């Protein structure tokens, strides 16, 4: 303690705190040096090409054929056509400007003083490295946020839908201007009673069901009419058949009544003829 020296325990604690701060500080990522490897990889094919410099007949044919060269160069020269993004309207432009303003305001909070207060030891010993890390983090965060925001705008079609909202608002404004002030304004929906709101919601469903039931009823009625026509035709046919049978029965009965008067005479004549035939037959047999 004498002579203004710091105790060993305090010095050890300070060194531990500095080690923790240095370990927690983000390390700047340097760009990978690939010049030597790329140069060596570039030189290796050149040596191979020098060794195998004699082209094959197929390569000569391909190189001398202008059609093949045009076909090979066409995919590289053909630009990839994509749908142009919609032009943002006032609301979409305001949304993008508000996002950019919010990002700038948020990233401005990560200034040099606030960042240095988080890493006091590194701010004293390596302020340049700390500033480089801060700038990299700010640029990285800004790029990520902007990329994510653009992805959301594209996936959700935010600009297109906001433009449609602009068109709807403009149409509503034109209708409001074209509206006759002498006509009675419509009743606000929130002032209507509950039964009216309920019936307005159920009316489309009831109307659909009513149309379906009317259609089914019409089909049933048409089917019943066809069946009634068939039954009526069958009844007429049955009545005609019954009339024919009754007429035939009356004819048979009349014929029976007419024959009843001569049945006895016919029976006697038949029996007399039979007796005569038998007598003749017996005389013939006796004469033999």
Return d(Cα 220, Cα 214) in angstroms, integer: 10
The dihedral over CA atoms of 226, 227, 228, 230, expressed in degrees to the nearest 10, equals 90
Check: CB of residue 160 under 8 Å from CB of residue 167. no
| Phi-psi region at 22: left, alpha or beta (left = phi > 0; alpha = psi -120 to 50) | alpha
Burial of 190 (0-12, 13-18, 19+ CB in 10 A): exposed
Q: In this prediction, what percent of the chain has a pLDDT beyond 90?
A: 38
Question: Mean pLDDT score of the chain, rounded to an integer?
Answer: 76
Return d(Cα 73, Cα 67) in angstroms, integer: 10
For CA atoms 86, 92, 97, 101, give the dihedral sign: negative
Check: CB of residue 21 under 8 Å from CB of residue 119. yes
pLDDT at 36 over 60: no
Q: Given this model, what pLDDT does residue 202 score?
A: 92
Check: CB of residue 116 under 8 Å from CB of residue 191. no
Check: CB of residue 151 under 8 Å from CB of residue 57. no
Q: Given this model, what pLDDT does residue 18 score?
A: 57
Return d(Cα 229, Cα 26) in angstroms, integer: 95
Question: How far is C-alpha 127 from the geometric centre of its chain's CA atoms?
Answer: 56
Return d(Cα 133, Cα 145) in angstroms, integer: 18
Residues in the chain, total: 288
Question: How far is C-alpha 189 from the geometric centre of its chain's CA atoms?
Answer: 32
The dihedral over CA atoms of 46, 52, 57, 63, expressed in degrees to the nearest 10, equals 10
pLDDT at 61 over 60: no
The better pLDDT of the pair 279, 16 is held by 279
Residue in the block written with tokens 């509950």? 194
Band of residue 262 on the pLDDT scale cut at 50, 70, 90: confident
Q: Given this model, what pLDDT does residue 161 score?
A: 93
The better pLDDT of the pair 282, 2 is held by 282
For CA atoms 145, 141, 143, 107, give the dihedral sign: positive
């Amino acid at each position: 303690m004498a002579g203004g020296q710091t105790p060993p325990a305090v010095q050890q604690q300070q060194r531990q705190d500095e080690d923790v701060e240095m370990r927690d500080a983000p390390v700047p990522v340097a760009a990978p040096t690939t010049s030597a490897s790329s140069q060596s990889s570039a030189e290796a094919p050149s040596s191979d090409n020098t060794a195998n410099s004699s082209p094959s007949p197929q390569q000569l044919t391909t190189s001398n054929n202008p059609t093949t060269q045009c076909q090979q160069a066409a995919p590289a020269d053909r630009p990839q056509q994509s749908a142009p993004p919609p032009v943002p309207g006032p609301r979409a432009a305001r949304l993008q400007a508000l996002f950019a303003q919010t990002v700038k305001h948020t990233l401005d909070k990560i200034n040099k003083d606030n960042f240095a207060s988080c890493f006091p030891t590194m701010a004293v010993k390596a302020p340049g490295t700390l500033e480089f890390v801060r700038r990299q983090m700010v640029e990285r965060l800004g790029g990520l946020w902007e990329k994510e925001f653009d992805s959301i705008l594209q996936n959700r079609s935010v600009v297109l839908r906001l433009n449609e909202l602009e068109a709807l608002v403009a149409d509503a404004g034109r209708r409001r201007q074209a509206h006759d002030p002498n006509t009675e304004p419509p009743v606000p929906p929130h002032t209507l009673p509950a039964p009216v709101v309920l019936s307005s919601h159920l009316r489309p469903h009831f109307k659909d069901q009513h149309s379906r039931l009317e259609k089914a009823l019409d089909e049933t009625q048409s089917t019943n009419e066809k069946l009634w026509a068939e039954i009526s035709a069958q009844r007429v046919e049955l009545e005609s058949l019954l009339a024919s049978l009754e007429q035939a029965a009356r004819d048979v009965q009349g014929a029976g009544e007419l024959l009843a008067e001569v049945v006895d005479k016919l029976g006697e004549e038949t029996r007399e003829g039979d007796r005569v035939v038998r007598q003749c037959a017996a005389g013939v047999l006796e004469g033999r």
